[in-house]
Amino acid sequence: MQTRKLGRSNLEVSALGFGCMGLSSGYGPAVEKEHGIKVIRAAVDLGVTFFDTAEVYGPFVNEELVGEALAPFRDRVVIATKFGFKIEGGKQAGLDSRPEHIREVVEASLKRLKTDHIDLLYQHRVDPAVPIEDVAGTVKELIGAGKVRHFGLSEAGVQVIRRAHAVQPVTALQSEYSLWWREPEAEILPTLEELGIGFVPFSPLGRGFLTGKLDETTTFDSTDIRSTVPRFTAENRKANQVLVELLGQIAGQKHATPARVALAWLLARKPWIVPIPGTTKLHRLEENVGAAAVELTAADLQEIETAVAQITVQGARYSEAAQKMVNR
């Protein structure tokens, strides 16, 4: 697989990364550990070198899974993890980016990941109770100590990005971005380009919706976050099907699948964008990785743009509680 550099940093990763969250949480019950290891190692075999996890996924078990799965390949993969949540009784309990907490989380993450350094450390969500300068300064110290290599932010707004970057250069911003969530195009992407920061879109397949495998009859487990997301009500799924149909038409022309076209569209946006689709299925992993070989011409991109401009996606992308933790 081709590689890309995240912004102006020297962090080089595969053009497509792998989001590991869904193996342990977020989309229903966790997979069996052996299966999770098999999927992650299959990604390595397919050329993926960029793996994304966080202490809050599980909590903790996803980092343990990633650490065990990647231990044999540690010298040729890039591991990204995150801090920023308070975890009590095995559950997420608000935000916490106090410097002392960041240091505690890093020490614990290093043990779970079976490594002596974290390649890319993100603040998972902006904590309004802690100045971003203090957060960036703490990560800068950890970089100086050799425990962290690069600093990242997640779901941060332009002002926070600028303030953090002034203290410790930000290598990457991770936020949701796809054909059905294009908000970052207004202010975020121009700022990242100006500052030389890479962009790592999560949910690049619209939490599975853009694959064409979900419709209004699909049911979700009670532990699946889509069961609480307004955009995934049966009514909104039915209304949003028009976007999937569009992708299907273009995929047919390219002899590809809707998922591959959706990912190829992201790759074509900027050379410093690295999507991180996740899956629990080996055949879906192969499908996603194949997107790197799909070339969309300028005419293809214009066709997509013209068609999508006529579609209004229905439903908010987050529940009210989750939206409150997005800094814009």
Just list the catalytic residues: 57
3-state secondary structure 214-280: CCCCCCCCCCEHHHHCHHHCHHHHHHHHHHHHHHHHHHHHHCCCHHHHHHHHHHHHCCCECCCCCCC
Phi, psi for 188 (deg, rounded to 5) = -65, -55
148: helix, strand or coil = strand
Q: Which residues contact 122 (CB under 8 A, 6 or more apart)?
A: 54, 80, 81, 82, 83, 84, 151, 152, 153, 154, 172, 174
Helices 132-144, 158-167: axis angle to 10 degrees equals 40
Q: Which residues contact 186 (CB under 8 A, 6 or more apart)?
A: none
Contact predicate 31/23, CB 8 Å: yes
Give the residue from 66, 49, 55 showing the smallest Cα distance to 11. Answer: 49
DSSP 296: P
Helices 61-70, 99-112: axis angle to 10 degrees equals 50
- CA dihedral (12, 13, 19, 21) positive or negative: negative
